[in-house]
Amino acid sequence: MARGQYEPVIGLEVHAELLTAAKVFCGCSAKFGAPPNQNTCPVCLGMPGTLPVVNRRVIEFAMRAGLATRSEIAHYSRWARKNYFYPDLPKGYQISQYELPICTGGAVDIEVEGAPRTIRLTRIHMEEDTGKNIHDAHGDASLVDFNRCGVPLLEIVSEPELRSAAEAGAYLRKLRAILQYLEICDGNMEEGSFRCDANVSIRPVGSKPFGIKVEIKNMNSFRAVERAIEYEIERQTTVLDDGGRLVQETRLWDPDRELTRSMRSKEFADDYRYFPDPDLLPLVIDDAWIAAVRETLPELPDARRQRFVDRYGLPAYDAEVLTQRKDLADYYEAVVRHHANAKAISNWIMGDVLRVVRERKLDNAPIIHDWPVLPERLAALVKLIDDGEISGKIAKTVFEEMVSTGGSPVEIVAARGLTQISDDAAIQAAVDAVIGANTAKVAEYRGGKDKLFGFFVGQVMKATEGKANPQKVNELLRAALAG
Amino acid sequence: MSELTRLSIDEAADLLKRRQVSAEDLTRAALERIAATEPALHSFITVTAEGAMEEARAADARRARGEHGPLLGIPVAIKDIILTRGTRTTAGSKILSTFVAPYDATVSARLRAAGAVCVGKLNCDEFAMGSSTENSAFGVTRNPWDTERVPGGSSGGSASAIAAAQCLGTLGTDTGGSIRQPAACCGVVGLKPTYGRVSRYGVIAYASSLDQVGPLARTVRGCAAMLGVVAGHDTADSTSVPRPVPDYAAHLDGKVRGLRIAVPREYFVEGVQPEVEAAVRTALHALEGQGANVSEVSLPHTRYAVATYYLVATAEASSNLARYDGVKYGHRAAAAEGLVDMYRKTRAEGFGAEVKRRIMLGTYALSAGYYDAYYLRAQKVRTLIRRDFEAVFAEHDVVLTPTAPTTAFRIGERTSDPLQMYLSDIFTISVNLAGLPAISLPCGFDTRGLPIGLQIIGRPFAEEIVLKAADAYERLTEWHRRTPDAVAQGGA
């Protein structure tokens, strides 16, 4: 079969660490970044005799995720034990959900190159995170940090309905945005609080059965997920085109060499010996509880994007960019509340503000607490332009100073005397001076060299230190040159 | 021996209250008795003499301040599968031989708060797996009635310590009969409460859905006092039930008139030692004589109980015991090459044969392809067994049976035949599968002078009815006053 005649089949398994203050089965802090083994107690260390007690917030967070993705919330679900040996798993089993998860079904809407698609979810279930092994830090010994043990996780499993790396990326971004909007996950891929495994196979176009599936792990950015999937589609295509056979296996993404490599063969599937955890009662959720959680759901990304179009009259593109992150959308609305020039503010944010965010690498942070300028100050800046107090050009200078000093635009303009000169007499004086000083050029212009007009404008602006109202300058210059 | 160690809990509490004896006196007497009898019995893994004397002085001080309570100043001991902060807790296993508990089990904390004086940690079958206390990594416990015989198990140390008057009350755990069967073998009273009545927090798990902590004592009243202290809801155990704890002692009025007693025919079959059956029937007549109504019933799924138990219990055990891997605490194999080798050697060295046997059985029962046929099927049968009891309890107040089919057997007699050993719990296992409360109390002796146990089973959370019926019977007899001759001279 020739190249390009395969169809990729991609399913994603996302692990999202939940932003509860406490762990899922004990009262230990779930916060990231504490010194090793500080956030531990007998329960999350799995000491003999300890028993788990479920943190109710975790269940509510799972319900939020379920409701936000139109999932069915199970009235009866169950905790299960997933048994396997690993040093970072102190009990020798992980408490998870298996045959009766809390959420089933559901869907996430995405759009790739203008084409809308709905990706269905298989399930969302709750589980506890494991610890972390640290190798080669201490001679030939390995150390274990159990801080992460018992931090609550949601596992969100999509149906194998994604058909390209771009779709996978769009799905992941939308899913992360939803979780961030729900304020249940910070979505930080680098710190591992939003992790993704991809199942990738290819099949001849038009064929029904799935091809041999490869699981890819170890991707810690959106770009890595997309690159890894692209690589894997390419690799599988080459293997089949060369008449080779694919094996079911787990492969690791190597971000330095930009390729996947085999980790282990999956010919013999792991036997986790799942069974219902006898230490935990079945989880019973009634309609009243579901309704109460539904009440607390915030406006989600798609709804907000539409509202930005409807309410602020923004182009769809602007609305899309501004609502990708909840904190960005919040920021935009905070600015607009202070000064209602929706499109100009959108331009400033999409341009200068996000440029600074990127320069300072704030876009990697899950929540941008310190935006480059306060919403009311950005609003004040745009208002200065709209009121004709400063020119757009001067505004750029003011903005840079706001970013570096944190000052207010009004004060910066006043302190540096940047107020726009709209006074006819002052501009006329400057115009006269420029004409007087450049008689030769004036003659050339009057002789038909229209292009010189820009030169005169520049000279006047220079003379007024850029503060002259450009419209007035144009007006008065034309009159004077027509002389 | 000192008369102080022969007291029942309520007798001792009465003397303490009347200032005729101090907790220090009681504790010193217990420690002397332990010192004298331990060489012959080995009921204890750890004796905490110093700590006990301190606790006794603290209890006396509390009494002096006017405090009182059923266990304040009473010498007790705790099965070494229940965590006691700062004291080694081994579960009878080599793999935990160096493990010092970092926290108190809820039951330990409740005993402490009630002012009970803990004299030590009692021997048991490794991880409570066994019916003879021969499977302890710390050596066999002997039956005070005949030191050539087992005390039963797995709470053999808890039962023998009471029978030998080493202390006045003990805690055991009961997964398939591990309190009641040794209580029967040693001629003492042992109560397995309803599943969920007592917190399991800090109790080293064998089979989580079956395990329950309970008291052993010389009298029914003593068990009631112990239960009153340790029972009740615990937010650290999701399976503990938020129900108020009744005043058990208030129910012990000796009256059984109108009590509807069910006798299941499945418990009086071939294989039951004739003297056991005769003693139980005599006990029934005695209760009938007090106005109880006795009728025969059927619990048709009884014959599947042992098989069901060994699937459910071992499946849970295989998972519960996975944490003993040498990574965090306890025994770790010295010379291992790499991680997997360390796991293998640690567990091979740390676990005894019976534990390994059950881990393998449970691993098999849960493995892919067998889960439905074994574990899931066993859970369904478990439901049928529970329904058998529900049907009987619709028309009866208690079910009465022998506790064990035979009296105490000889040490080593059944160790080579695990299946034969498993049958020791044949009359107690159903109760755990159904989560019911049940008590064993002495109802006679066989011709060799070995005690026979009577089992009284109740509805869920009807401990007070079980205790009331048992107490009424106890008042009719003197069995609980007999002293084992074998070690009687050990103290004094």
CA distances from A462 to A395, A397, A399, A451 (A): 16, 15, 20, 18
pLDDT at B188: 98
d(CA B329, CA B219): 39
**Secondary structure, 3-state, B258-317:** CCEEEEEHHHCCCCCCHHHHHHHHHHHHHHHHCCCEEEEECCHHHHHHHHHHHHHHHHHH
CB pair distance less than 8 Å for A49 and B105: yes
- A contacts of B328 (beta carbons < 8 Å): 45-47, 90
User: Which chain B residues touch A142 with a CB distance below 8 Å?
Assistant: 339
Closest CA to B210 of B450, B459, B433: B433
What integer best gives the mean pLDDT of chain B? 96
Q: Which residue has the tokens 């941008």?
A: A368
Residue among B99, B238, B323 minimizing CB distance to A279: B238
Interchain proximity B316–A144, CB inside 8 Å: no
Chain A: closest CA distance from residue B458 (Å): 23
Residue B404 pLDDT > 50:
yes
B171 touches chain A (CB under 8 A): no
Q: Which of B22, B79, B160, B240 is catalytic?
A: B79
Residues B287-342 have pLDDT tens digits of: 999 999 999 999 999 999 999 999 999 999 999 999 999 999 999 999 889 899 99
The pLDDT tens digits of the residues spanning B179-210 come to: 999 999 999 999 999 999 999 999 999 999 99
Of residues B256 and A422, more confidently modeled: B256
Which of chain B's residues have a Cβ under 8 Å away from the Cβ of A144? Answer: 327
Q: Could you tell me the CA-to-CA distances from A196 to A114, A365, B31 in Å, in that order?
A: 25, 18, 61
The strand pairing partners of B345, in sequence order, are none
Give the pLDDT mean for A199-222. Answer: 93
Q: How many CB atoms within 10 Å of residue A138? A: 9
- To which residue do tokens 């509340």 refer? A337
Q: Is the pLDDT of residue A478 over 70?
A: yes
Q: Is B383 on the interface with A (CB under 8 A)?
A: no
B365: alpha, beta or left? (left if phi > 0; alpha if psi -120 to 50): alpha
At residue A462 the predicted structure's pLDDT band, cuts being 50, 70 and 90, is confident
Helix axes B353-366, B305-320, angle to 10 degrees: 100
Q: Map tokens 């066989």 to a residue.
A: B446
Among B244-253, B262-271, B353-362, the range scoring the smallest mean pLDDT is B262-271
Annotated active-site residue B17? The verdict is no
pLDDT over threshold 50, residue A1: no
Which residues in chain B touch residue A49, judged by CB atoms under 8 angstroms apart? Answer: 82-83, 101, 105, 200-205
The answer to whether residue B178 is catalytic is yes
Q: For residue B492, what pLDDT is reported?
A: 35
| Per-residue pLDDT at A137 exceeds 80 | no
Nearest to B124 by CA among B175, B167, B166: B175
Asked if A152 contacts A23 with a C-beta cutoff of 8 angstroms, the reply is: yes
A364 has pLDDT over 80: no
The conformation of residue B440, written as its DSSP 8-state character, comes to: E
What's the whole-number mean pLDDT along residues A30-50?
96
Question: Using an 8 Å Cβ cutoff, are A248 and A212 in contact?
Answer: yes
The CA distance from A132 to B241, in Å, is 35
Q: Could you confirm whether B424 is annotated as catalytic? A: no
In A266-374, which residue ranges form alpha helices assigned H by DSSP? 287-295, 301-312, 316-323, 326-338, 342-348, 354-359
Burial group, residue A350, by CB count within 10 angstroms (0-12, 13-18, 19+): middle
Residue B394 CB contacts under 8 Å (≥ 6 apart), including other chains: none
Nearest to A434 by CA among A415, A462, A410: A462
| pLDDT of B464 over the 80 cut | yes
ipTM for the complex?
Answer: 0.96
Touching check for B343 and chain A: CB below 8 Å? yes
Which of A81, A86, A149, A273 best probes binding to B when mutated, by most B CB atoms within 10 angstroms? A273
Contact B322 A93 (CB under 8 A): yes
- State the smallest CA–CA distance between residue A288 and chain B in angstroms: 22
Smallest Cβ–Cβ distance between B328 and the set A90, A271, A281 belongs to A90
Long-range contacts of A411-415 (CB under 8 A, 24+ apart): A413/A384, A413/A389
Q: Residue B363: list chain A partners with CB under 8 A.
A: 273
Distance CA A477, CA A457 (A): 8
Element (H, E) at B78: strand B75-79
Residue B77 has pLDDT above 50, yes or no: yes
Distant-in-sequence, close-in-space partners of A99: CB < 8 Å, separation ≥ 6 = A78, A80, A274
Chain A contact for B325 (CB, 8 A cutoff): yes
* Model confidence pLDDT, tens digit, residues A188-209: 888 889 999 999 999 999 899 9
Question: pLDDT tens, A272-326?
Answer: 999 999 999 999 999 999 999 999 999 999 999 999 999 999 999 999 999 988 9
Nearest-by-Cβ selection for B209 from A269, A274, A278: A278
**Mean pLDDT lowest among A147-156, A291-300, A446-455, B348-357:** A446-455
Q: How many CB pairs under 8 A join A and B?
A: 96
Tell me the helix, strand and coil percentages in chain B, rounded to 5: 45, 15, 40
Q: What pLDDT, on the 0 to 100 scale, is given for residue B491?
A: 42
| pLDDT tens-digit map of B35-62 | 999 999 999 999 999 999 999 999 999 9
pLDDT (mean) for A53-72: 98
pLDDT of residue A265: 67
CB contact under 8 A, A83 and B319: yes
pLDDT of B490 above 60: no
Is-contact B46 B157, C-beta < 8 A? no
Cα–Cα distance for residue pair B427/B302, rounded to 1 Å: 9
Q: What pLDDT score does B488 carry?
A: 61
pLDDT at A436: 86
Which member of B83, B238, B325 has the closest CB to residue A54? B238
Helix A453-463 to helix A470-482 angle (10° resolution) is 120
Least confident stretch, A352-361, A395-404, A430-439 = A430-439
Looking at chain B, the whole-number percentage of residues with pLDDT higher than 90 is 94
